[in-house]
Amino acid sequence: MRYISTRGTAPVLSFEEAMLTGLARDGGLYVPETIPTLSRDEIAGMAGQSYEEVAFTVMRPFIGDTFTDDEFRDLITKAYACFGHSARAPMVQLAPNHFLLELFHGPTLAFKDFAMQLIGQMFQKALGRKGDRVTIVGATSGDTGSAAIEAFRGLDNVDVFILYPHGRVSEVQRRQMTTPSESNVHALAVDGDFDDCQARLKDMFNDFEFRDGVKLAGVNSINWGRVLAQVVYYFTAAVSLGAPDREVSFTVPTGNFGDIFAGYIAKRMGLPIADLVVATNQNDILDRCLKGQGYHKGEVHASISPSMDIQVSSNFERALFDAYERDGNAVAQLMAELGQGGFDVSQGAMQALQDLYRSGRASEAETTETIAQLHTTTGELLCPHSAVGVKVAEDQRDPCVPMVTLATAHPAKFPDAVENATGIRPGLPSRMADLFDRPERVTRVANDLEALKTHIRKALA
């Protein structure tokens, strides 16, 4: 299996190289050259299997000869051993034909753990046998950073630096990043918003002298390995609801378009997905784009679902690449226009996107109302991101097709929003109850490429 860049000019890589590299050298994102498909029988065979067994079947065709079958099985087992639920991704029913897929039983209580725990294992294995060491730098609106730090803390072959927007992450998120005491963990509070963090990260990758000097590696959702790990739970959920004999739809609280893109990959692999619904908060640039209004950047407005507060949705580039029939030049052109503020999508590409994705948005008031209402009708406490999903799913779903809404974080990760809606303050699971007592360690840095480079070089010296 070979990987190509969405901008068409970076070298073609193996799975291992694409995973260790992150962003392509032409500024693009790596995608598989072809999408493997699973037969109806292979999908039917997943019924009743463990999460780990399904994970192996779904991901194996993408990894080429990077790992042997035994090695890969072992990495998957280790990745999910620390989850707090034996099903890994259990489902609960909210209403007739509406289900909630709980993706928050990992060590940092958000779905990011599904990918990050596996990436940590895969990096460790691949770097260990080469005797290599890399510097991982990630940008986060809160959940990616905590998941990355949890996955890489104490590993021999990596230093991990996480850029988060100062003052714009929840206290639980911040503490998950600042309390690990391992010396290879570095939390950086940047004076800016999430898009600034993401932009500085891209700057570092495009500074080849720095990139090669510190052996920069990326674990943001631009990393193909992240997207791949997220394809698995679409299969486990759909199969438990009757796939391949029955179609299932999904609604996905969306920011960087990584999670929903994994759903698209599942569909291309042969999973019978009826609708893929993109759910956004008040930062609704994707909803507007998918309704044909072009992709034009505005201001980021801080919301109660901060992990979706973005204007630049990096993985949308992967969707555009396919919508433009894999024309790397066209994508490079769009991304150059985005640098100037935005772009319009061609008629053909728009049709292709609308054939694949539906979309909706939830306002702040609607999000709070949904948390309250779901608590009344089901007793379930939703995190605000999951509530955005449930609201949009209720607006859009076909009552005859099972709808699965992805619950992307545990309510205890965003206790203020949940308490405000329901009067109940959700408690942390007991395994992390001492989070508020541990000492914090963090460096405040300017929103400036040179300052960041200097800080990272010094910390590594």
Ligand X SMILES: *Cc1c(COP(=O)(O)O)cnc(C)c1O
> What does the binding site for ligand X look like in residue numbers (CB under 6 A)?
110, 112, 143, 221, 253-259, 307-308, 385, 408-409
Q: Which is nearer to ligand X, 152 or 414 (CB)?
A: 414
> Residue 118 CB, nearest distance to ligand X (Å)?
15
- The smaller minimum CB distance to ligand X, of residues 244 and 306, is found at 306
Q: Which of 112, 125, 202, 267 is labelled catalytic?
A: 112
**Residue 171 Cβ, how far from ligand X at the closest point, in Å?**
15
- Both tokens of 363, joined, read 């306002």
Please provide the size of the chain in residues. 461
Helix (H, G, I), strand (E, B) or coil at 410: coil
Please report how close the Cβ of residue 308 comes to ligand X at its closest, in angstroms: 5
How far is it, in rounded angstroms, from Cα 186 to Cα 182? 9
Residue 124 identity: Q
Cβ nearer to ligand X, comparing 168 with 385? 385
Smallest separation, CB 304 to ligand X (Å): 12
CB atoms within 10 A of CB 443: 13
For the CB of residue 147, give the shortest distance to ligand X in the complex, in Å. 8
- Give the end-to-end CA distance of the chain in Å, rounded to a whole number: 37
Nearer to ligand X, 256 or 368 (CB): 256
Joined together, the tokens standing for residue 114 give 């599904």
Buried b (16+ CB within 10 A) or exposed e, 79-113: bbeebeeeebbbbeebbebbbbbbbbbbbbbbbbb
- Paired with 46 in beta bridges are none
d(CA 417, CA 435): 19
Q: Can you tell me which residue has the tokens 């080469």? A: 130
With beta carbons less than 8 A apart as the criterion, state whether 96 and 399 touch.
yes
Long-range contact list for 436-443, CB < 8 A, 24+ apart? Answer: 436/171, 436/175, 438/175, 438/179, 439/179, 439/181, 440/174, 440/175, 440/178, 440/179, 441/178, 441/179, 441/181, 441/187, 442/174, 442/177, 442/178, 442/187, 442/188, 442/189, 443/186, 443/187, 443/188, 443/189
Work out the number of other CB atoms within 10 angstroms of the CB of residue 42: 14
Nearer to ligand X, 202 or 211 (CB): 202
**Shortest Å distance, C-beta 310 to ligand X:** 8
Smallest CA-to-CA distance from 196 within 454, 445, 400, 399 is with 445
Angle at 144 between CA 141 and CA 149, to 5 degrees: 120
Look up 291 and say whether it is catalytic.
Answer: no
In terms of CB distance, is 218 or 258 closer to ligand X? Answer: 258
Structure tokens at 126: 């691949």
Between residues 46 and 227, which has the closer beta carbon with respect to ligand X?
227
- Rounded to the nearest whole angstrom, what is the least distance from the CB of residue 429 to ligand X in the complex? 16
Q: CB 263 → ligand X: shortest distance, Å?
A: 10
Virtual torsion, Cα 313, 179, 115, 431, nearest 10 deg: -130
Q: Which amino acid is at 52?
A: E
Of residues 254 and 422, the one with the C-beta less far from ligand X: 254
**Which are the catalytic amino acids?**
112
